[in-house]
Amino acid sequence: MKKSYITLFLTLLAVLTSCDDKLDITPRGFSTLNTVDDLGAVLNREWRIYDWDFNHEMLTGNIFAYYKTPAEVFAVKNSVEYAFIFGDESVDRVALCEDDGRYSEIYENIMHCNIVAEKMADAEGDDYKKNRFIAQARILRAWFHFLAVNLWAAQYDPATAASTGGIAYVDNIDFGAQKTKLTVAEVYDRILADCTDDLIACLDPTPVNDPFRFEADFGYAVRARVLFQMKRYDEAAVYARKAIAVNPTIEDRSTIVSKGTWESTFDAPHHYMFILTNFVINFSEISGKTLTPEFMSLYEQGDYVRYYSRADDWESYDDVLVGPKGSMFYSPQGAPRFNVWGIRAEQMYYVLAESLIRTGHIDDGLDQVDKVRKYRIHPQYYTPFKGTVTTEKDAMALLSKAKTVECILSIENYLDCKRRNTEPDYATDIIHHIDDLGDHTIRPGSPLWIYPFPMNATNFNPSLTQNI
């Protein structure tokens, strides 16, 4: 019941704050959120960024359009799916984007963070809790803005970030004020200011037993992931190590051998914080997704998911007849949950791994990859990557293949592609092999890597010019 009151309070807040000096009345049954605990409860949400199509993984070539054949996608050329699958930059994605649930929910989540960050200082209660809630609100605000700037703006490049259009960074609850679009550099400056060492120090060093709340593990991980995207690899490694030190938990998938299916819940301890894409139900995000032949080829021999799940968990192209030939469906009975928008420990091992490889520590980096792979590959087939290669490019090839499988559906694969697309040594075309319809390419510099702002945002904010 208390959650219902808080939700209704938030709905009315924009109206009430404009006249709260004239109307000092608390409706019967409402919480005024004057105490630290009541205001902190605003963060007790099942955080979500609704997504069902996972367009970010269509771009990377890992999944195909939902339950569609290539011919069905090809027949509707004025569609986002057609643009992403066939690499057609001429599709007017702006005209097709009247609204975007991802955009709306990201900024709705930010609003909740801002209420806590702005009002907590005046709340009555324990100072330790007060500082902890403020830190949680600001760090989570940083993460949501990080997701937004990478979806709706270009990859951060220190040479051009100061002149590249970004997003609006919303850090207040002045609902009537226009939110001005900043440059990519300005957005990243504010993101980093919202996940400083001082803020992380306010968090508990023990992981919390709640998938939708977080402590220092997520705080360090956010700063690590932001610095990593900025290609500040030395600094990213420091914070990735700190995150892992707080919560080193790696999911053990060897249980698939005895269970016959993959079971993994959203409250499993390897999740630093879980952000939903749909609802809290016993249904896996990967169910019904078409995995492309290119993605399927990345599985290592002996992978628990691929080779030890019961036969009924996998469906071949001949069974479903969607996607390009060679595609497969994975609909595991165990309904594992995929942390598409949040962060889990395995991502930090890979952030640390690449940061080490990029700074010349190849074996140390591959050792981090192996720490995860030990729980992914049956001992009969597992051999360490460490010690097998000596060059950065060879090490990156091993890492990239394993990480793509590890992070399927996650925003991580999209972020990696965007980041590497700006580097001559790693930029690569994404080639979609579409049977009789031929090969179709998404080039590294394609505007398809940037999402259009939805019309229901741009129509009311003239500063929000498109970045594509």
Directed axis angle between helix 345-358 and helix 233-246, to 10°?
150
Query: How far, rounded to the nearest angstrom, does the alpha carbon of residue 167 sit from its chain's CA centroid?
Result: 17
Residue 35, beta-bridge partner list: 124
**Angle, CA 167 vertex, CA 44 and CA 161 arms, to 5°:** 125
The three-state secondary structure class of 433 is strand
Mean pLDDT value of segment 437-465: 97
Bigger pLDDT: 285 vs 33: 285
Helix, strand and coil percent figures for the chain, each rounded to 5? 45, 10, 45
Q: Is the pLDDT of residue 52 over 90?
A: no
Amino acid, single-letter form, for residue 232: R
Ramachandran sector of residue 54 (left: φ over 0; alpha: ψ -120 to 50; beta: rest): left
All domains of the chain in start order, with CATH: 54-105+146-468 (1.25.40.390)
Mean pLDDT value of segment 433-454: 98
The pTM of this model reads 0.94
Q: Is the pLDDT of residue 11 over 80?
A: no
Question: Which pLDDT band, with edges at 50, 70 and 90, does 169 fall under?
Answer: very high
H or E element that contains 431: strand 430-433
**Residue whose tokens read 């090969």:** 439
Q: Cα separation of 314 and 76, whole Å?
A: 29
Query: What pLDDT is recorded for position 17?
Result: 41
Q: Where are the beta strands (DSSP E) in 219-317?
A: 271-273, 290-291, 314-316
**Angle, CA 407 vertex, CA 159 and CA 382 arms, to 5°:** 120
Ramachandran sector of residue 323 (left: φ over 0; alpha: ψ -120 to 50; beta: rest): left
Q: Cα separation of 166 and 239, whole Å?
A: 25
Mean pLDDT value of segment 87-110: 98
Query: What pLDDT is recorded for position 103?
Result: 98
Mean pLDDT value of segment 154-164: 98
Q: Is the pLDDT of residue 4 over 60?
A: no
Query: Going by DSSP bridges, is the β-strand pair 430-433/165-168 parallel, antiparallel, or unpaired?
Result: unpaired
Query: What pLDDT is recorded for position 283?
Result: 86
Q: Cα separation of 32 and 15, whole Å?
A: 14
Question: Which pLDDT band, with edges at 50, 70 and 90, does 409 fall under?
Answer: very high
Query: What pLDDT is recorded for position 8?
Result: 42
Q: Is the pLDDT of residue 91 over 70?
A: yes
> Of 79, 33, 31, 23, which Cα lies nearest the Cα of 55?
79
When the pLDDT of each residue in the chain is averaged and rounded to a whole number, the result is 94
Q: What is the dihedral of CA 338, 339, 340, 344, to 10 degrees?
A: -130
Q: Cα separation of 227 and 458, whole Å?
A: 29
Query: What pLDDT is recorded for position 2?
Result: 43
Amino acid, single-letter form, for residue 157: D
Give yes or no for a contact between 420 and 71, defined as CB atoms under 8 angstroms apart: no
Reading the block at residue 294, the tokens are: 């290119």
The contacts of residue 255 (CB under 8 Å, 6+ apart) are 263
Give yes or no for a contact between 116 and 133, defined as CB atoms under 8 angstroms apart: yes
Question: Which pLDDT band, with edges at 50, 70 and 90, does 24 fall under?
Answer: very low
Query: φ and ψ at 212, to 5 degrees?
Result: -105, 5
Question: Which pLDDT band, with edges at 50, 70 and 90, does 212 fall under?
Answer: very high
Q: Is the pLDDT of residue 5 over 50?
A: no
Question: Which pLDDT band, with edges at 50, 70 and 90, does 31 fall under?
Answer: low
Q: Is the pLDDT of residue 15 over 50?
A: no
- What is the share, in percent, of the chain residues with pLDDT greater than 70? 93
Query: What pLDDT is recorded for position 195?
Result: 99
Q: Where are the beta strands (DSSP E) in 91-191?
A: 165-168, 181-183
Condensed to tens digits (0 to 9), the pLDDT of residues 350-393 reads 999 999 999 999 999 999 999 999 999 999 999 999 999 999 99
Amino acid, single-letter form, for residue 115: I
Give yes or no for a contact between 87 and 93, defined as CB atoms under 8 angstroms apart: no
Reading the block at residue 51, the tokens are: 């997504």
Query: What pLDDT is recorded for position 288?
Result: 87
Query: What pLDDT is recorded for position 280?
Result: 81
Residues written for the chain: 468
Question: Which pLDDT band, with edges at 50, 70 and 90, does 176 fall under?
Answer: confident
Q: Cα separation of 332 and 126, whole Å?
A: 46
